Amino acid sequence: MFSQNYSSCCSLLLILFFFFFFSSFGALALEVAVKAAVGAPNVLGDCPFSQRVLMTLEEKNVPYQMHLINLSHKPKWFLQVNPQGKVPVVKFGNKWVPDSDVIVGILEKKYPKPSLTTPPQFTSVGSNIFSNFVTFLKSKNSSDGSEQALLTELKALEKHLKAHGPYVAGKKVTAVDLSLAPKLFHLDVALEYFKKWTVPAELTNVLKYKKLLFSRKSFKKTKTARKYIIASWEPKVNP
Ligand SMILES: N[C@@H](CCC(=O)N[C@@H](CS)C(=O)NCC(=O)O)C(=O)O
Ligand SMILES: *[C@@H]1O[C@H](CO)[C@@H](O)[C@H](O)[C@H]1NC(C)=O
Ligand SMILES: *[C@@H]1O[C@H](CO)[C@@H](O)[C@H](O)[C@H]1NC(C)=O
């Protein structure tokens, strides 16, 4: 008799506990829509802007709930809250906000600790690397200067890191690093696969910087497999 009452009382407590645990978790967790992997709807995809936002949430220890979006088949609810149809989008209050720059700015205000603010004189460090990488990746003409243009940007980063590193703003990781990390990963994976090209060994500070970024917990937890990065670039490289 006693043990029966005891156990039903415990079950009730357990149910109440889970109810409050999950309902409060649901209320606290930020909803974020990010790219699903190409060919795998339930796997986190390769969008560098999405990963940047996820890394920011991880670094700031903000609980979040992901919605994986198949960008070739965007769900109706997603297009309703975000007519431009781009990821990432994050729900703040009852408003879905697009654009990783805007999202990261809001996150910094809402969750100031730890601060990830990059000093203004460093915010544009490395900002031309991604576009130059894409041009070189798509280039079919080895004398069009696209490789040289990318090298120029990487050498500028090398020089900066040598003077200020190991991160762009010194000892601590800041927003600009979280923006660059996924882009440098795309650069590594795609250029190696499609062009057998790797960052020159003499850019030692860039190599160290990449290692530092790729070994952060926030990066490992939010990165996608190389095959999904390759699958994403394939139609752009060989249209
Ligand atoms: N400026 C935007 C760029 C976002 C973006 O280009 N996202 C891509 C995926 S990485 C996208 O959603 N593309 C799908 C589309 O344009 O339909 C940001 O920083 O968030
Ligand atoms: C994404 O949508 C496209 C277009 O409807 C579909 O062909 C593809 O199978 C979907 N991908 C996944 C992984 O569900
Ligand atoms: C490659 O680019 C160079 C420099 O722009 C140009 O002179 C050359 O004709 C191009 N070659 C091909 C095959 O398009």
Q: Give the lowest-confidence range in 19-33, 84-98, 219-233.
A: 19-33
Just list the catalytic residues: 47
Ligand 2 neighbour 73 (Cβ under 6 A):
yes
Q: Tens digit of pLDDT for each residue in 51-110?
A: 999 999 999 999 999 999 999 999 999 999 999 999 999 999 999 999 999 999 999 999
Please report, as a single letter, which amino acid is at residue 25: F
* Ligand 1 atom with least separation from CA of 71: 14
Going from the Cα of 39 to the center of ligand 2, the distance in angstroms, rounded, reads 7
Ligand nearest to the CA of 39: 2
Residue 1 confidence class, pLDDT cut points 50, 70, 90: very low
Choice from 72, 76, 87 to test ligand 2 binding pocket (greatest atom count within 8 A of CB): 72
Looking at residue 113, its pLDDT comes to 97
Ligand nearest to the CA of 142: 3
Taking all residues of the chain, what is their mean pLDDT, rounded to a whole number? 93
User: Measured between alpha carbons, how far is 155 from 45 in angstroms, rounded to an integer?
Assistant: 29
Q: Under a CB-based contact definition with an 8 Å cutoff, are residues 153 and 134 in contact?
A: no
- In the predicted structure, residue 3 carries a pLDDT above the cut 60: no
Query: Taking the domains of the chain in order of start, what are their residue ranges?
Result: 30-110, 120-237
DSSP bridge partners of 92: 95
Site of tokens 């390769």: 46
Mean pLDDT, rounded, for 113-133: 98
Burial class (CB in 10 A: 0-12, 13-18, 19+), 138: middle
CATH, domain range 30-110: 3.40.30.10
Ligand 2 neighbour 26 (Cβ under 6 A):
no
Choice from 143, 146, 147 to test ligand 3 binding pocket (greatest atom count within 8 A of CB): 143
User: Measured between alpha carbons, how far is 31 from 8 in angstroms, rounded to an integer?
Assistant: 35
| Ligand 3, CB cutoff 6 Å, lining residues | 141, 143-144
Q: Tens digit of pLDDT for each residue in 86-97?
A: 999 999 999 999
Ligand 1 neighbour 81 (Cβ under 6 A):
no
Looking at residue 75, its pLDDT comes to 97
DSSP per position, 175-204 = HHHHHHHHHHHHHHHHHHHHH-----TT-H
DSSP bridge partners of 67: 33
Going from the Cα of 47 to the center of ligand 1, the distance in angstroms, rounded, reads 8
CATH architecture of 120-237: Up-down Bundle (1.20)
Q: Tens digit of pLDDT for each residue in 133-167?
A: 999 999 999 999 999 999 999 999 999 999 999 99
Looking at residue 28, its pLDDT comes to 78
> Which residue has a Cα nearest atom 2 of ligand 3?
144
Choice from 136, 138, 144, 147 to test ligand 3 binding pocket (greatest atom count within 8 A of CB): 144
Looking at residue 5, its pLDDT comes to 56
Mean pLDDT, rounded, for 25-48: 90
From residue 22, give the alpha-carbon distance in Å to each of 19, 33, 35: 6, 20, 25
Ligand 2 neighbour 40 (Cβ under 6 A):
yes
> Which residue has a Cα nearest atom 12 of ligand 3?
141
Ligand 1 neighbour 182 (Cβ under 6 A):
no
Mean pLDDT, rounded, for 175-204: 98
- In the predicted structure, residue 50 carries a pLDDT above the cut 50: yes
More confident residue, 12 or 112: 112
In the chain, the N- to C-terminal Cα span, in Å, equals: 74
By percentage, how much of the chain surpasses pLDDT 70?
89
Tokens read off for 223: 């990165």
Tokens read off for 1: 């008799």
pTM for this entry: 0.89
Mean pLDDT, rounded, for 172-179: 98
| Strand ranges (E), the chain | 30-37, 40-44, 64-69, 89-92, 95-98
Tokens read off for 33: 């829509």
